[in-house]
């Protein structure tokens, strides 16, 4: 299966190196607005030596397209004339971009879209009760370093480096959370896509004394109560949990697995 990766940062590099070690997939193309990142990644690979491709060429020539760039690329991807073909698969890491383009994702009929569970647990249970949820809350607690530079932090002039205890910095809805924390809250978008529940309450807490990125999901309805807590250690990129990378790699492995576990 020919693979193309869009975005050659930390996640793209980890996925590329995983593919480079196996035999089921062949990495043929890379795309990044920063070409130097792509060239650095190519040098790290031992078996596959992919080409630096335009977005059009990468989508046209790849059986599996992996997006690991940012939510800003999602619209271009979903609108690309080469995407919606049978036997193509698109794996999206920046699920926050889907929230802003739900009309486009509904128009994709042939290409299979894969959304890893990322840095949260409990999505199988949430999917099973979709349509029966009465309340759904996501509380995300992150290290100060992982939240620095987020648009919401800058806009509201929040001085995270001056706090010595955990503080609630955001309480609101999904759309505002995605806009304010585009690199931190993809889990909220994934939760919405699994639950189809429009009134998710999002809480974001900055904790200078934690080493974990923690996501707590609480859902209630006529089924009872679902509670899931995931404590992630950050990866080399503090905005990305290590589990998010492992989840993406497992999603790729599942393409070739005969036994499918979970819904």
List pLDDT tens digits, range 124-142: 999 999 999 999 999 999 9
Q: How far apart are CA 231 and CA 195, in angstroms?
A: 21
Confidence of residue 33 (pLDDT cuts 50, 70, 90): very high
CA-CA distances (angstroms) from residue 75 to 99, 105, 184? 10, 9, 19
Spatial neighbors of 247 by CB under 8 A, at least 6 apart, are: 116, 117, 118, 119
Which residues are tagged catalytic? 215
pLDDT by residue (tens digit) across 200-258?
999 999 999 999 999 999 999 999 999 999 999 988 877 788 899 999 999 999 998 87
Q: How far apart are CA 222 and CA 129, in angstroms?
A: 9
**pTM for this entry:** 0.92
**Dihedral, CA of residue 193, residue 104, residue 173 and residue 207, to nearest 10:** 70
In the chain, what are the domains?
A: 2-114 (3.40.50.720), 123-240 (3.30.360.10)
Percent helix, strand and coil across the chain, each to the nearest 5 = 35, 25, 40
């Amino acid at each position: 299966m020919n693979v193309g990766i869009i975005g050659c940062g930390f996640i793209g590099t980890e996925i590329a190196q995983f593919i480079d070690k196996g035999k089921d997939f062949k990495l043929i193309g890379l795309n990044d607005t920063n070409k130097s990142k792509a060239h650095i990644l190519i040098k790290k690979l031992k078996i596959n030596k992919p080409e630096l491709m335009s977005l059009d060429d990468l989508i046209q020539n790849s059986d599996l397209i992996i997006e690991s760039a940012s939510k800003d690329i999602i619209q271009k991807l979903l609108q690309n004339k080469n995407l919606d073909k049978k036997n193509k698969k698109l794996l999206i890491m920046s699920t926050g971009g889907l929230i802003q383009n739900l009309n486009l994702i509904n128009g994709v009929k042939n290409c299979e879209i894969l959304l890893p569970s990322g840095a949260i647990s409990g999505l199988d249970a949430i999917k099973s009760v979709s349509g029966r949820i009465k309340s759904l809350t996501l509380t995300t607690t992150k290290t100060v370093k992982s939240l620095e530079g987020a648009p919401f932090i800058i806009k509201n002039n929040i001085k995270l480096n001056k706090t010595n205890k955990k503080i609630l910095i955001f309480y609101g809805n999904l759309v505002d959370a995605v806009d304010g924390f585009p690199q931190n809250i993809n889990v909220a978008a994934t939760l919405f896509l699994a639950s189809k529940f429009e009134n998710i309450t999002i809480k974001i807490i900055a904790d200078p004394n934690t080493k974990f990125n923690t996501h707590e999901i609480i859902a209630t309805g006529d089924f009872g109560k679902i509670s899931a807590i995931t404590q992630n250690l950050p990866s080399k990129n503090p905005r990305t949990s290590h589990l998010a990378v492992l989840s993406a790699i497992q999603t790729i492995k599942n393409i070739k697995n005969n036994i499918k576990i979970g819904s």
